[in-house]
Amino acid sequence: MPILPSLLLNVGHALDHLFLLIFATAVSSIAFDFGVGGWEDMMPYTVGAFLMFGLASIPAGRLGDLWGRRQMMLVFFFGMGASAIGVSLTQNPIQMAVALTVLGIFSAIYHPVGIPMLVQKSPRPGLTIGVNGLAGNLGIAFAALSTGFLVAWQGWRMAFIVPGLVSIACGFVFAWAAPHESDAPAKKKTKSIQLPKNLALRTFAVMVATATTSSVLFNITTNGNAQLLAERLHGLVNDPSRLGVLLAAIYAVASLAQLLVGKLLDLFPMKPLFFCVLLLQILMFGVASQTSGWAWYAAAIGYMVMVFGAIPFSDTMVVRYIDDAMRSRVSGIRIAISFGFSSLAVFMLGPIVKVAGITQLMVALTAVAALGAVIALFLPNEAEMKAHVQTST
């Protein structure tokens, strides 16, 4: 794929995550503007965005395979930009919930469509996924940074408008630069990758289950870190702009993990590498649950490195063991299940913190990380998977 469309696909990943976290970063200002008691009371209104981020992945993936990935990416760029501007026009929590849900529908397009489009002819898919993951997580870092400054400059509405305009501009450039597809992916002839039914079901079950635990950790931390940071560093750092910089630094450092993991996935077997990352997740969340101040900040960098580091594994499984003709559909189903479930965790974030406190939240995240590590043990061995793929091509 030409350089400019590839670059825009990575920018699209950054924008996808950026848009989903503007609300979480600006939630205190939004709550004040709407006259709601506190940030905890506003968090449930974002559940529609994350629910649709999962559920809408199924039709998005189907359309990507059967209609075309280029066309779906244009819908993504223009739809995300327009819906973000729509969020900026809301006047109360109900309108906000509806607008965020629409934003979630368009945000669902990227992962089942953009990533398969990016890796479909890549000679080193692990590295390609790692670079793409780095871009997505830099979007998370930029969300913390840009939202903090835009809120301080012009208020929370501008934090949605500016990236909305950027997304629309990217859509126009992508329409000009991205080559037209001769056929939709499902209509192209590709090599057949067929695993025995029991092995295929086992692999898919582990893929979905570990993606679900990873999504829970990802959604809770990325939506809650701004408030966790404010509480754990209370008395040390209180200025919103400085807190935004510190949060962006966490994400910027953690983003490098996906680049490293992507390289390692091209060199080493997946299962032991995945299990090691999940073990380190348990350790980092455990330390974070028992600390505060700058010690907590160091632990937060650690657990976000491991949360981000776990993300490339599911996409790599899809690339290695699923034909390109149906990757968008398989990715859509996987994302729908994992993010559909984890959206409930986002819904419960505010109420759980309000009732049990942040320390208990961190303990719960440690338990989720442990569950993911146990599930990963059931992933088939690399040699067994490769043997079946090789004999079926």
What does R_g of the chain's alpha carbons equal in angstroms?
Answer: 20
Give the separation between CA 139 and CA 132, rounded to whole angstroms: 11
Q: Are 151 and 29 in contact (CB under 8 A)?
A: yes
Query: What is the average pLDDT across 108-122?
Result: 88
Give the pLDDT score at 188: 61
pLDDT exceeds 70 at position 385: no
Percent residues over pLDDT 90 in the chain: 34
Percent residues over pLDDT 70 in the chain: 92
Which of 56-65, 96-105, 117-126, 203-212 has the least mean pLDDT?
A: 117-126
Give the pLDDT score at 193: 54
pLDDT exceeds 80 at position 346: no
Query: What is the average pLDDT across 284-301?
Result: 92
Q: Are 54 and 339 in contact (CB under 8 A)?
A: yes
Q: Give the model's confidence band at 345: pLDDT under 50 very low, under 70 low, under 90 confident, else very high.
A: confident
CATH numbers and ranges of domains, the chain: 3-392 (1.20.1250.20)
Query: What is the average pLDDT across 328-352?
Result: 77
Comparing 393 with 23, which gets the higher pLDDT? 23
Give the separation between CA 65 and CA 59, rounded to whole angstroms: 10
Q: Are 178 and 73 in contact (CB under 8 A)?
A: yes
Angle at 252 between CA 228 and CA 334, to 5 degrees: 80
Query: What is the average pLDDT across 181-187?
Result: 66
Burial of 230 by CB count in 10 Å (0-12 exposed, 13-18 middle, 19+ buried)? middle
User: Strands, DSSP E only, in the chain?
Assistant: none
Give the pLDDT score at 301: 94
Give the separation between CA 33 and CA 106, rounded to whole angstroms: 26
Q: Give the model's confidence band at 392: pLDDT under 50 very low, under 70 low, under 90 confident, else very high.
A: very low
370, two tokens: 């442990």
Handedness of CA 314, 315, 318, 321 (dihedral sign): negative
Q: Are 299 and 284 in contact (CB under 8 A)?
A: yes
